[in-house]
Structure 1
């Protein structure tokens, strides 16, 4: 599946679904979760926690509240206080794409799930994410964006995405 690498704040994106890099408890702390929580309002964290816990690699969907999206898909690539693995990143990304497609979303924005506080190596994690997006066969999704916050991460993400696409 075709996808685009972009740079910016995920909480400022407009899409049918935004993916949160979550832990299995679905309690929203810092990083991507913190940015989404601050922009969406307090209801997002409350609804997410009420839907948890989920299995490692699992997802849960909530309303997007004040975000410019219909849904937030919480993709759990790590246990609370733990670290992500290649398998948990692969499962979380695949399950997030399946969920977005099942919700008839046309657009979804994903961060580097498992590569921040979850401790997995950034470029290795992004490679896994890109491979999962590339292999996914969607029914409704036509606009898939992988987002990086910093310029350095954006440059690295673009390099990895180009290598996977070759």
Structure 2
């Protein structure tokens, strides 16, 4: 019987998670350098990340692909295209798919740890509380039968985002 992975929420820089096997990129469809998380990860990884991703693009909302981490302190980057809120529908299902697909790719590679940003809540406009509930509920459900994953971290930009994530995580983990 596999144990439920530890889930934690911290404030920090997604590009500085050296104890995680994989980090998740809030990617754009072309898997190129962008703003926010995609910009931070691509700048830290170096130009090889964009070169490796070029043949995998474009990806669709809800889809995830995996690459090497290049100059990042991780083994892999999992690139997810979250939905643009109010544009890509059904947004809740597409957002949940990002998290499920990222966990599936991590499990397929036998990874023990993964760090997520808060997908779709920046430039894509998804309201933080709603996106957080979908993210955490999906991660809890999808990681239940995990064979390799032991540690899931949400790396968040602000104290407020950490507070929202911890509150919702607490409510979902109550017996």
TM-score, with normalisation over the residues of structure 2? 0.87
Alpha-carbon contact 1:83-1:119 (below 8 Å) kept: no
Match of 1:62, SS state, is: strand
- Aligned counterparts, 1:15-34, within 5 A: 15-34=20-39
- Aligned counterparts, 1:30-45, within 5 A: 30-45=35-50
- Aligned counterparts, 1:1-166, within 5 A: 1=4, 2-14=6-18, 15-78=20-83, 85-136=91-142, 137-166=145-174
Match of 1:139, SS state, is: coil
Match of 1:10, SS state, is: coil
CA RMSD of aligned residues (A): 1.6
Alpha-carbon contact 1:107-1:143 (below 8 Å) kept: yes
Match of 1:11, SS state, is: coil
| Cα distance in structure 2, aligned partners of 1:83 and 1:56 | 7
Alpha-carbon contact 2:69-2:75 (below 8 Å) kept: yes
| Cα distance in structure 2, aligned partners of 1:149 and 1:93 | 18
Deviation at 1:83, TM superposition (A): 5.3
Deviation at 1:56, TM superposition (A): 2.1
1:87-127 CA deviation, whole Å, 9 max, x = no partner? 11100110000100111000100111111111111111011
- Residue segments in structure 1 that go unaligned for 5+ positions in a row: none
| Cα distance in structure 2, aligned partners of 1:23 and 1:161 | 27
Asked which structure has the greater CA Rg, the reply is 2
Alpha-carbon contact 2:33-2:43 (below 8 Å) kept: no
| Cα distance in structure 2, aligned partners of 1:68 and 1:83 | 33
TM-score, with normalisation over the residues of structure 1? 0.92
* Stretch of structure 1 that moved more, 10-19 or 46-55: 46-55
Match of 2:154, SS state, is: strand
